[in-house]
């Protein structure tokens, strides 16, 4: 059985837009690959996704109903301790530990956050069989607040919220360097590095617009380390790590962007030096997530306390 068709009408601002791009903007909860599989008509006629829109064009989309089952077998005996900050029938908010991947992928078929949540409750399959319920992500070695969708209604609404950046996300970062400012707006397009495909970088041309507000919370001049709170106004891959590193303040213990080895020589405290040499994973924590509940409309705010390793670093400083 199919869902009810979705109907969209092209406005003046949509004139000349490709149909696939138009639908990607109208239905951000679906990827372009997914959209290609839908039954799509323009003015009641079959049409190619490369077709250009005219004002007043009526686009009809029929989305095949997804089943609530997945062919991927999740091992629900996850060893990850799940810290639940909030849960109802539509969403679950958790504090993700550092070192835990969000969902299965190459080289990680067990003990992801999704495994752990599925051992506790159901998740919306609209995210795909490997990413059920996932509407945003944190890097494996970033800890902090994550929301996952349990219902399909919540999934669709939250995807739109994150696509439109209609929420508040704040992170705590320990960085190398002592800035001569207390607050800075960092802007610069981010895209895949041409030198190292595992890395992102700031680009003069291309990429996606990105903006981060960085606030200095504390400085330790002797160690050459600062504590910052970073607010995201966009949500690009590795955004905070890239922006801070590009401006001379790489996140401590960041293996991709940290450039920490060059700074270790200035660290005199032997315990701090040992921590910095041996710790795995960037000192970055998603502290605050604030959003409007996708079904109740209630304003929600969640804050995750610093993980033990970041507390240890702060104590050593």
Catalytic residues: 139
Cα–Cα distances (Å) from 161 to 5, 29, 137, 235, in that order, read: 22, 10, 14, 11
DSSP H or E run through 33:
helix 32-35
Helix, strand, or coil here: 79? coil
Contact 105, 130 (CB under 8 A): yes
Chain centre distance of CA 303: 16
Backbone angles phi, psi at 32, to 5 degrees: -65, -30
Helix (H) or strand (E) holding 105: none
Instruction: Kindly state the DSSP code that residue 4 receives in the 8-state scheme.
Output: P
Task: Look at strands 200-202 and 211-220 and give their pairing.
Answer: unpaired
Which two structure tokens, joined as six digits, stand for 97? 């530990």
Round to whole Å and give the CA distance between 3 and 25: 20
Place of tokens 């079904």: 295
Q: What angle do CA 49, 55, 58 make, to 5 degrees?
A: 55
Indicate the DSSP class of residue 240: H
Q: What is the DSSP letter of 239?
A: H
CB 119 within 8 A of CB 64: no
């Amino acid at each position: 059985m199919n869902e009810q068709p979705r109907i969209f009408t092209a406005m003046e601002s949509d004139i000349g837009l490709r149909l696939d791009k138009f639908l990607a903007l109208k239905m951000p909860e679906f990827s372009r690959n997914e959209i290609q599989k839908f039954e799509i008509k323009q003015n009641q006629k079959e049409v190619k996704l490369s077709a250009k829109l005219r004002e007043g064009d009526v686009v009809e989309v029929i989305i095949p109903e997804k089943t609530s089952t997945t062919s991927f077998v999740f091992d629900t005996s996850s060893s990850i301790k799940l810290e639940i900050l909030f849960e109802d029938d539509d969403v679950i908010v958790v504090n993700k530990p550092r070192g835990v991947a969000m969902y299965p992928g190459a080289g990680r078929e067990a003990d992801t956050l999704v495994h752990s949540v599925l051992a506790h409750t159901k998740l919306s399959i609209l995210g795909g069989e490997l990413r059920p319920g996932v509407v945003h992500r944190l890097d494996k070695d970033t800890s902090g607040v994550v929301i996952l969708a349990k219902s399909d209604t919540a999934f669709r609404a939250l995807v739109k919220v994150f696509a439109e950046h209609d929420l508040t996300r704040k992170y705590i970062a320990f960085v190398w360097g002592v800035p001569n400012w207390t607050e800075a707006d960092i802007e610069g397009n981010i895209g895949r590095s041409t030198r190292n495909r595992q890395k992102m970088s700031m680009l003069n041309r291309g990429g996606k617009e990105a903006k981060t507000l960085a606030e200095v919370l504390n400085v330790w001049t002797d160690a050459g380390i600062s504590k910052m709170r970073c607010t995201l106004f966009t949500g690009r891959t590795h955004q905070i790590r890239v922006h801070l590193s590009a401006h001379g303040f790489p996140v401590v213990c960041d293996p991709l962007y940290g450039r920490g080895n060059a700074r270790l020589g200035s660290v005199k405290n032997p315990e701090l030096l040992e921590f910095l040499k041996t710790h795995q994973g960037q000192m970055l924590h998603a502290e605050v997530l604030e959003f409007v509940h996708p079904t109740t409309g209630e304003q929600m705010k969640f804050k995750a306390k610093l993980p033990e390793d970041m507390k240890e670093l702060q104590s050593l400083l």
